[in-house]
């Protein structure tokens, strides 16, 4: 059995420094905002797992349906000997690809969470002793240095996570992905698709209120890590569809005029009654838009797969 190869390119204090920078910036601009990555402490990750099982939240099921049905086609089209997954988390859905890629020799999981990486990586080492498994503790939105593994390589970015990036951020991200690829390599990209507004809003504002609790968890994270005194009960969860931008926005709306203190940043932030703090953008896509964004970064979309209801898509693209 090969050992799990663990590499850290993320400094030990990087998470704290990034949180401080994001809170300081986000609470001092108008409109106020916080990046969605701060949802995901231990509780936030558990809440998101609950969200994926809700009847209203279709993306995880739809993507899993595609992977279960099409992994053989993806494997045949890519011929990958190395699979690289950005934001791998538990690597649960990736097992469809790992099983289908008959020539696979290496799997590289990239995530900021060391505990999630090592737990998932060790499980794969035990399940598949012939697979060379690497855990890379890194921020995939920053330039990456990947381990030396055999090509062709398939870089997977699943879950529709690319929709959390604003257009300029997507352009920068796709350019960085392009820089990682060599001739013969491919990008497998998961994108949620534009659909009926009611279905989209329900997916981010479920009847049981799990997404509302998840949204407010970002305030608990700032309270715990930076000593802030946010009262989550003083904010309402809001999910809105922006038809012009074609994205869902999650926000927290202040119920009253209030001032929040963040002692670690020597910061006092005033919220007017009804003022909103944006916590997530989740863009939805058409095939034409995905094709155009990939092409602008030097990638050519060659394959497109959707679930039976065309709610979600996986695309395979290669260097042009």
Residues 95 and 138 both lie in one domain: yes
d(C-alpha 104, C-alpha 120), whole Å: 18
Residues 6+ apart with CB under 8 A from 135: 4, 5, 6, 7, 109, 111, 114, 117, 118, 120, 121
Dihedrals phi, psi of 10, to nearest 5 degrees: -95, 120
Residues 177 and 289 both lie in one domain: yes
Q: Which of 191, 282, 290 is nearest to 241 (CA)?
A: 282
What is the predicted pLDDT for the residue at 1? Answer: 59
Residues 6+ apart with CB under 8 A from 168: none
d(C-alpha 248, C-alpha 282), whole Å: 5
Helix (H, G, I), strand (E, B), or coil: what is residue 295?
helix
Q: Identify whether 16 is part of a domain.
A: no
Residue 11 has pLDDT above 90, yes or no: no
Q: What value does the mean pLDDT of the chain take?
A: 93
- The two beta strands, 186-192 and 312-319, are antiparallel
Q: Identify whether 146 is part of a domain.
A: yes
Specify whether the CB–CB gap between 308 and 283 falls below 8 A. no
Locate 82 and state its tokens. Answer: 């190395």
Range of the domain at 91: 57-193+285-319
Residues 85 and 157 both lie in one domain: yes
- The two beta strands, 82-86 and 153-157, are parallel
Count other Cβ atoms within 10 Å, centred on residue 8: 13
Average pLDDT over residues 97-103: 94
Residues 167 and 289 both lie in one domain: yes
Q: Identify whether 185 is part of a domain.
A: yes
- Structural domain count, the chain: 2
Dihedrals phi, psi of 135, to nearest 5 degrees: -110, 115
Locate 35 and state its tokens. Answer: 């990046």
d(C-alpha 79, C-alpha 261), whole Å: 54
What is the predicted pLDDT for the residue at 33? Answer: 97
Residues 184 and 208 both lie in one domain: no
Residues 72 and 203 both lie in one domain: no
Over residues 280-317, the pLDDT tens digits come to 999 999 999 999 999 999 999 999 999 999 999 999 99
Residues 299 and 152 both lie in one domain: yes
Looking up residue 294, the CATH number of its domain turns out to be 3.40.50.150
141 secondary structure, DSSP code = T
Count other Cβ atoms within 10 Å, centred on residue 302: 13
Residues 81 and 215 both lie in one domain: no
Query: For the chain, what percent of residues have pLDDT higher than 70?
Result: 98
Residues 312 and 216 both lie in one domain: no
Residues 92 and 151 both lie in one domain: yes
Task: Count Cα neighbours of 121 within 13 Å in the Cβ-side half-sphere.
Answer: 27
d(C-alpha 269, C-alpha 217), whole Å: 18
What is the predicted pLDDT for the residue at 13? Answer: 72
Locate 238 and state its tokens. Answer: 């809001």
Residue 48 has pLDDT above 70, yes or no: yes
What is the predicted pLDDT for the residue at 318? Answer: 96
Query: For the chain, what percent of residues have pLDDT higher than 90?
Result: 78
Residues 187 and 295 both lie in one domain: yes
């Amino acid at each position: 059995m090969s050992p799990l190869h663990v590499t850290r390119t993320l400094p030990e204090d990087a998470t704290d420094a990034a949180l401080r920078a994001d809170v300081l910036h986000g609470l001092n601009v108008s409109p106020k905002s916080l990046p969605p990555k701060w949802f995901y402490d231990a509780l936030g990750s558990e809440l998101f797992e609950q969200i994926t099982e809700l009847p209203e939240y279709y993306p995880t099921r739809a993507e899993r349906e595609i992977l279960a049905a099409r992994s053989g086609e993806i494997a045949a089209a890519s011929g990958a000997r190395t699979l690289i997954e950005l934001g791998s988390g538990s690597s649960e859905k990736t097992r469809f690809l790992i099983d289908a890629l008959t020539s696979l020799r290496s799997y590289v999981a990239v995530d900021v969470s060391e505990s999630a990486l090592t737990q998932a990586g060790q499980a794969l080492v035990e399940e598949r002793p012939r697979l060379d498994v690497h855990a890379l503790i890194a921020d995939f939105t920053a330039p990456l240095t990947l381990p030396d593994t055999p090509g062709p390589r398939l870089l997977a970015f699943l879950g529709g996570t690319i929709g959390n990036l604003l257009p300029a951020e997507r352009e920068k991200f796709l350019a960085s992905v392009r820089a990682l690829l060599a001739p013969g390599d491919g990008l497998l990209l998961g994108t949620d698709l534009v659909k009926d507004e009611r279905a989209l809003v329900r997916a981010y504002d479920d009847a049981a209120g799990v997404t509302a609790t998840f949204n407010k968890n970002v305030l608990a994270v700032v309270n715990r890590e930076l000593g802030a005194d946010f009262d989550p009960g003083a904010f309402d969860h809001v999910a809105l569809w922006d038809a012009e931008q074609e994205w869902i926005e999650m926000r927290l709306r202040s119920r009253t005029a209030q001032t929040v203190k963040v002692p670690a940043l020597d910061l006092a932030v005033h919220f007017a009654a009804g003022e909103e703090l944006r916590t997530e953008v989740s863009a939805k896509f058409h095939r034409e838009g995905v094709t155009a964004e990939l092409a602008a970064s030097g990638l050519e979309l060659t394959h497109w797969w959707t679930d039976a209801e065309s709610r979600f898509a996986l695309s395979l693209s290669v260097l042009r």
